[in-house]
Structure 1
Amino acid sequence: MLHKFIINNTRVVLDVHSGAVHRVDRLTWDVLEDYRNIARDGLLEKLARRYPGQEVEEALAEVDELVEAGLLFSPDPLGGSYTPPAHNIVKALCLHLAHDCNLACRYCFAGQGKFGGPAGLMSLETGKAALDFLMNSSGGRRHVEVDFFGGEPLLNKRVLYGLVEYGNKLAGERDKEIKFTLTTNGLLLDEETGDFLNRHDMSVVLSLDGRPAVHDTMRPFPGGGGSYDIISRKIINFLESRDYRNYYVRGTYTANNTDFSRDVLHLAGLGLREISVEPVVAPPEEEYALREEHIPGLSREYALLADMVLERARAGDPINFFHFNIDLEGGPCLPKRLSGCGAGSEYLAVDPEGGLYPCHQFVGQEEYVMGDVYGGLVNKELPARFAGAHVYSKEGCAECWAKFFCSGGCHAGARAYSGTILKPNPLGCRLMKMRLECALYLKVAMAGQQ
């Protein structure tokens, strides 16, 4: 299976099953168009009408070599089927320290942090039980991860501090390494909290949507009024305290700012270099929801952003745009490429009372309760169902060129669209493919500069 595309006059060919990416000229592009469809003599005759015969012969020989080497038209390495391993090794937890928030973001999937229930904070006892559960459920795996999430987790910062101390102690006793990440809107970042996060070398994901008007429209305070001025200042102060290391600034774009490349440039203008601006996930009736009519413009916007990223890299002032990151040499192993984030099997979320869910986006949904951190996994069917939701079982994924990069997409996004985790949202798929094409384009464009 091949995927061919053109961005900014650059022709790129992806060999789907080997992962090989080729930058090709017009002649090779045309050779590949008919290489498997026309007998060799007929192909030579057809191409000789447009190109010198010797050049056609050379291009065909080069394609033959790549086919022989397994870098073009390679077969599916798993023959179109996959059986996930029958184990429940948990490697990561998302701890909901607070089901409450100090902002009222309009697009919040968690209902302003409460996830459809009452406001609440996780106790230190419950958090410790969650870390015990992680250590006991991670088997022989040495590296485990914990993301502190909400709502706004810094509303419960004393418990956060206690859990980091406890988790590091526990990991040392179990001969494991634990990595902590905090996802925060930044409003409660102060010198004390920054010192703690820096001292423990914690990764931090910070929410900032971009330009002031864009951010303030979607991320106001509960009583109204924009939060950009306070948050941007706190983020910059915090990042200066850690020399701009170990962070991501994450924004969301909506139908109100489909020119989101300008928001990326705004963030870069603040001195931020690790940037993720992602499409909103919202019911189609919301005025800010992305719809099919936005697709052509968004495609152009991603291509524009890709060239901006390329120009800055060439000028020695790079930015790292999360969705254009792609590792063609040392990326995830094949099983990981089939099942993605591991939600519901390797990755679980914990609500403030200790309930276990497949991921943070399923928290509060009764049918997705898997057990709790005290009694462990009770619903054994759910981990198997999520582990079985991979690119060979999701509708349309096995035939898709992007399958080994998107891994079938987000389970929660699929369920919100179709009612099942096995039928992805086609709009989400379109956006994913746009980003992937830009990522592959940047790979070959930057390789050409080396």
Structure 2
Amino acid sequence: MIHQYKSHGYNIVMDVNSSAVHVVDDVVYDMIPVYEKQEDKEAIFASLDSYPREELEAAYEEITRLKNEGMLYTEDIYQKYMTDFKKRKTVVKALCLHIAHDCNLACKYCFAEEGEYHGRRALMSLEVGKKALDFLVANSGNRRNLEVDFFGGEPLMNWDVVKELVKYGRSLEKEHNKLFRFTLTTNGVLLNDEVMEFCNKEMSNVVLSLDGRKEVNDKMRPFRNGKGSYDLIVPKFQKFAESRNQTNYYVRGTFTRNNLDFSKDVLHYADLGFKQMSMEPVVASPEDDYAIREEDLPRILEEYDKLADAYLEYRKAGKGFNFFHFNIDLTQSPCVAKRLSGCGSGTEYLAVTPWGDFYPCHQFVGQEEFLLGNVYDGIVKQDICDEFKQCNVYAKPACQNCFAKYYCSGGCNANAYNFTGSITGSYDVGCKMQQKRIECAIMIKAALADMEEETGASADVAGEISHVC
């Protein structure tokens, strides 16, 4: 499968099955689709007779070389292994601990209903948390590295239990030959020096929730009395990011129909001094006034192009930052299983409620049809786990002819279910945004490679993109 597109002055060709990416000149770009369908060399040249013969000969030679080297028109080598892939033994390697089904903000788009998750307000007890960590250790097989995310609601509303669970997890490591990677997601309201110090010692990553500009954030992320949260949390987040040497954190926002000019919010992060950031599209019911709609897509896709331009300009000016969706690995990592099946929800990754129930991930919590078991009895509905285990890019019809499938790994199962009623469905609006982000990310790789060549500075992209002229 070949995907071609033009972006910011670059002609980019992706060989989807091999993950090879090429920046090419006009004649190669125009010849590639003809070459694939036409075997006769002279017929190919006849269809491109606006180019000089010598350019056509050179392009034909380069395309033939790339094909022979397995970098163009390659076959799908993964589908034939899917039977074995589905039978592979999986282990639990990550838990999302809902340490608090309660929150001190009233974010308008919150899928967790201010932390309640279609249920009741509750805080996880230390007993339940320990049982969850015991379950993770017992069901992780030979895997050494385990991940636990403290999530909510707002986890800092149950801070003492967070600290005790970290302590308990560390006590299990040596005996069981495990290494816990703890992470935390917070709205920052209760963030203080003691929390920062502890997180800097124990949390591998911290997600800081902020929607960008003050007027945008305060419209969607107010306190329950309607007052905005921006002025309280931004200074704390700035201090925290600096205390972590601008690494191992993300400022994470959500854009809605109210701020389709979200590139300004990302740049606002950068202007505040943040170096690690993410901005996610809201996922909401179509009847919500802030929900993203199909008709919004042209503007959103244009906004990603604007952000890509600004990203490169900030980089050139020495003010570079890391935008999560512009990170892309063109060297065929991560592993095949990850590329085919994504986050591992319902199999390798589970969410745990404050009272100890298991769900496939945090976005399924409260949907009783996806209740898998609990920390006391373990997994009692293995059939649901088996269904998730078989959820991969080959099980999703919309993925079959999509160039992005090995980068997005089939997308979010929860979004697929919520919009189509099936975890093998596809959230089409989300897919189109993901495709655009991937195209921008690859273009940025090409631009950074050119910057590296011009300046001699390392952009860490050597060998990832071939230039064919």
Q: Aligning the two structures, in what range does the TM-score lie when normalised by the shorter sequence?
A: over 0.9
State the shift of 1:194 in Å.
0.9
Q: Aligned Cα RMSD in Å?
A: 1.1
* Distance (Å, rounded) in 2 between the aligned partners of 1:240 and 1:104: 28
The reply to whether residue 359 of structure 1 matches residue 361 of structure 2 is: yes
* Distance (Å, rounded) in 2 between the aligned partners of 1:403 and 1:16: 9
- TM superposition outliers: structure 1 runs of 4+ over 3 Å: none
Residue by residue over 1:31-63, the C-alpha shift from the partner in whole angstroms, topping out at 9 and shown as x without a partner, is 11211222221111222x211101110111000
Does structure 2 retain, via aligned residues, the 8 Å contact 1:343–1:386? yes
The reply to whether residue 449 of structure 1 matches residue 419 of structure 2 is: no
Residue by residue over 1:195-229, the C-alpha shift from the partner in whole angstroms, topping out at 9 and shown as x without a partner, is 11112243100000000000001001011111110
Counterpart residue number, 2:67: 67
Superposition TM-score, scaled by structure 2 size: 0.94
More displaced stretch, 110-119 vs 86-95: 86-95
* Distance (Å, rounded) in 1 between the aligned partners of 2:172 and 2:273: 37
Counterpart residue number, 2:239: 237
State the shift of 1:375 in Å.
1.3
Does structure 2 retain, via aligned residues, the 8 Å contact 1:275–1:321? yes
Residue by residue over 1:303-358, the C-alpha shift from the partner in whole angstroms, topping out at 9 and shown as x without a partner, is 11111111222232211000110011262111210100000000000000110110
Counterpart residue number, 2:418: 416
More displaced stretch, 237-246 vs 31-40: 237-246
- The 5-angstrom pairing of residues 276-291 of structure 1 reads 276-291=278-293
Counterpart residue number, 1:35: 35
Does structure 1 retain, via aligned residues, the 8 Å contact 2:19–2:332? no
| Structure 1 unpaired stretches of 5+ | none
* Distance (Å, rounded) in 2 between the aligned partners of 1:110 and 1:269: 30
- The 5-angstrom pairing of residues 16-95 of structure 1 reads 16-38=16-38, 39-47=40-48, 49-79=49-79, 82-83=82-83, 84-95=86-97
3-state SS, counterpart of residue 448 of structure 1: helix
Determine what percentage of the aligned residue pairs are the same residue.
51
3-state SS, counterpart of residue 96 of structure 2: strand
Counterpart residue number, 1:321: 323
3-state SS, counterpart of residue 72 of structure 2: coil
Counterpart residue number, 1:6: 6
3-state SS, counterpart of residue 206 of structure 1: strand
3-state SS, counterpart of residue 13 of structure 2: strand
Letter in 2 for 1:339: S
Does structure 2 retain, via aligned residues, the 8 Å contact 1:4–1:14? yes
3-state SS, counterpart of residue 111 of structure 1: coil
Letter in 2 for 1:147: D
Counterpart residue number, 1:112: 114
3-state SS, counterpart of residue 245 of structure 2: coil
* Distance (Å, rounded) in 2 between the aligned partners of 1:185 and 1:191: 15
* Distance (Å, rounded) in 1 between the aligned partners of 2:114 and 2:312: 37
Counterpart residue number, 2:467: none
3-state SS, counterpart of residue 35 of structure 1: helix
* Distance (Å, rounded) in 1 between the aligned partners of 2:336 and 2:316: 32
Does structure 1 retain, via aligned residues, the 8 Å contact 2:45–2:56? yes
State the shift of 1:81 in Å.
6.0
State the shift of 1:110 in Å.
0.7
The reply to whether residue 342 of structure 1 matches residue 344 of structure 2 is: yes
| Structure 2 unpaired stretches of 5+ | 453-469
Kindly tell me the number of residue pairs found equivalent between the two proteins: 449
Residue by residue over 1:51-98, the C-alpha shift from the partner in whole angstroms, topping out at 9 and shown as x without a partner, is 110111011100000000110111001246613234340000000000
Q: Which of 199, 202, 210 is matched with 1:200 structurally?
A: 202
Residue by residue over 1:173-197, the C-alpha shift from the partner in whole angstroms, topping out at 9 and shown as x without a partner, is 2111110000111111101111111
More displaced stretch, 77-86 vs 205-214: 77-86
Does structure 1 retain, via aligned residues, the 8 Å contact 2:27–2:51? yes
State the shift of 1:245 in Å.
2.4
* Distance (Å, rounded) in 2 between the aligned partners of 1:372 and 1:282: 28
* Distance (Å, rounded) in 1 between the aligned partners of 2:301 and 2:241: 32
Residue by residue over 1:249-268, the C-alpha shift from the partner in whole angstroms, topping out at 9 and shown as x without a partner, is 00000111111010011010
- The 5-angstrom pairing of residues 433-444 of structure 1 reads 433-444=435-446
3-state SS, counterpart of residue 36 of structure 1: helix
Letter in 1 for 2:115: G
